Amino acid sequence: MTSPDYLFVLLGAGALGAAVLPRVVARRPLSLPLVFLVCGVALQALPLPMPVIDPVSDRTWVEHVTEICVIVSLMGAGLALNRPFGRRRWQGTWRQLGVTLPLTIAAVGLLAWGLLDWPPAAALLLAAVLAPTDPVLASEVRVGAPTDSEHDEDEVRFTLTGEAGLNDGLAFPFVLAAVALAAAGGRPTGGGIARWALVDVLYKCAVGVSAGLAVGALLGWLFFRAGWRVMRLSEHREGFVAIGATFLAYGVTELLHGYGFVAVFVTACRIRAAERAHGYHVVLHDFVEQVERLLTAALLFLLGVFVAQGGLASLTWQGAVVGLLLLVAVRPLTAWAAQLGTSAGPRERVVIAFFGVRGIGSLFYLAHALGSTGFGVPAERLWAVVTFTVLASVVLHGMSATPVISRLDRLRTHRARASGAGPEPGGDEVAGERL
């Protein structure tokens, strides 16, 4: 039994570590999630009273804690993006959503069905759960704090951040399809497919976008244009308002049976568009980033404890192969093909394709889905494959993000100088270089 006093020690040390470690690992081939993952494994190996982590029996709290972490990170991603919505401006992100996401689901589903010999519902569930990307676990590959320029985001960071902001919500229809398929005994019917297309895809996506736009417009007015100065929150510079906006957008949309993940990201983008150059966006973003860092550190620490306690005991070599193929073959090939014809240069396409980080979103989706009908595969095996894939992604992408992105940044700066931008080119000039 873990005493409450010991838990306070862990929470305090973890919070301080989340504040200090980003600067310690900066410019090194490490990431904060990787450090906390290793800490969780290491502490479990010591004779200390660690809590027992069982996502199968404790599915409900796992679902809700990961849910909060995801929606907070979605708000942060939307507030950070400087580039306005647009068909051409967001071309790389649209390709990732419209091409890479469905192709990844199809490929992983076939691998799970053929290599693992899982029933169709379980194979589809695994594919849908592992589909969303999560750059929060490799902060170097996402955009930084908001600025007043629409052109200082390089194509790699912008595309990956925009993709992560939207595909967390767009994977939901496929998770629900797997749940419906399991409930139907693995035999889809015409009526079931029609309902899925009309309700789970069209209606819920439309509600998510519409609610996000409406809540974002209301909050944008409240923050920046409210006639009563007391209500104009941008003048009070309180960052926790971003958490209120997150929960409000998510809760309203879920009450309307829409996709709250989509709504939160759209709300953040709409708030940003209300007064794009206002400094209050930095206050909101910084507060959200701090909360997100705390939640991510705690979850990755607990994931490390879970792994050390035998969380991968049900993993087979076939399951490990599926996870590795997703990271080193399926995602890179589908994303590279999707980026052909976009404004990204050849090197940038390779980097965008490689950094398909899997993380907290996958843990949420699995916990959420396992609250429904059985899938013909033990929950422990599903957790083992998903946990292994997230673990491999944290290690692979966490160690490679800093050197790869730093190399691209140096090349862009060199190109900008060579093109006549001077010895100290501006952010817009550097970001505009295509590699």
- Condensed to tens digits (0 to 9), the pLDDT of residues 389-405 reads 999 998 888 888 888 88
Model pLDDT, residue 259? 92
Average pLDDT value for residue range 20-39: 75
DSSP secondary structure code for residue 50 in this structure: P
Taking CA atoms, 116 is separated from 101, 179, 320, 377, in Å, by 21, 19, 10, 10
The rounded distance, in Å, linking the Cα atoms of 412 and 393 is 26
The rounded distance, in Å, linking the Cα atoms of 11 and 270 is 35
Q: Which residues contact 298 (CB under 8 A, 6 or more apart)?
A: 11, 14
Q: Which of the pair, 133 or 237, is modelled with greater confidence?
A: 133
Neighbours of 26 (CB within 10 A): 12
Average pLDDT value for residue range 125-142: 80
Start-end of H helices in 184-330: 190-195, 204-224, 241-255, 260-274, 280-306, 317-325
**347, amino acid identity:** R
Measured in whole angstroms, the distance separating CA 30 from the mean position of its chain's CA atoms is: 19
**105, amino acid identity:** I
Closest CA to 166 of 266, 271, 64, 267: 266
Taking CA atoms, 33 is separated from 21, 125, 134, 255, 396, in Å, by 10, 25, 12, 33, 12
Query: Which of 55-64, 284-293, 398-407 shows the lowest per-residue confidence on average (mean pLDDT)?
Result: 398-407
Burial bucket for residue 210 (CB in 10 Å: 0-12, 13-18, 19+): middle
Reply yes or no on whether the pLDDT at 268 is more than 60.
Answer: yes
Measured in whole angstroms, the distance separating CA 107 from the mean position of its chain's CA atoms is: 20
Model pLDDT, residue 138? 62
Q: Which of the pair, 50 or 283, is modelled with greater confidence?
A: 283
- Report DSSP letters for 354-405, one per residue: H-----HHHHHHHHHHTTSS--SS-HHHHHHHHHHHHHHHHHHHHHHHHHHH
Model pLDDT, residue 325? 94
Average pLDDT value for residue range 349-356: 88
Q: Are the C-beta atoms of residues 259 and 205 closer than 8 Å to each other?
A: yes
Neighbours of 371 (CB within 10 A): 10
Closest CA to 262 of 207, 303, 299, 316: 207
Mean pLDDT (the chain, rounded): 84
